[in-house]
């Protein structure tokens, strides 16, 4: 029940917002590299951006795990 509600209402918006912020951050990081020429800083930012985007995409998996744990409990 919880999983279906999340999947249909919240998850598409989370993925859309995450994709927009991910693309914006890549563009802004590229601009900073053009200005400063510091590739190490770019690699650090890209790594953190990828991890953040993976967390947004992984929200569905995390919720599926929580839903299975709730369903397996006997009340």
Instruction: Express each pLDDT in 35-73 by its tens digit.
Output: 888 788 778 878 887 887 787 777 777 877 888 888 888
Provide the domain limits for residue 44: 2-72
Going from the C-alpha of 56 to that of each of 3, 9, 18, 65, 75, the distances in angstroms are 15, 15, 6, 15, 31
- For 24, counting Cβ atoms within 10 Å of its Cβ (0-12 exposed, 13-18 middle, 19+ buried), the class is exposed
Q: CA-to-CA distance for 25 and 71, rounded, in angstroms?
A: 38
Count how many Cα atoms sit within 13 Å of the Cα of residue 68 in the half-sphere of its side chain: 6
Residues 1-44: tens digit of each pLDDT: 666 777 788 778 877 887 888 788 888 888 888 888 878 877 88
| pTM of the shown model | 0.55
At 74 the pLDDT is 67
Q: Which segments of 1-75 does DSSP mark as H helices, in order?
A: 2-5, 11-36, 39-72
């Amino acid at each position: 029940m919880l999983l279906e509600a999340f999947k249909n209402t919240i998850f598409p918006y989370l993925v859309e917002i995450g994709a927009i912020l991910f693309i914006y951050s890549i563009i802004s990081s590229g601009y900073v590299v053009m200005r400063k020429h510091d590739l190490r800083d770019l690699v650090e930012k890209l790594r953190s951006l990828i991890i953040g985007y993976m967390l947004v995409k992984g929200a569905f998996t995390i919720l599926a795990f929580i839903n299975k744990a709730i369903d397996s409990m006997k009340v």
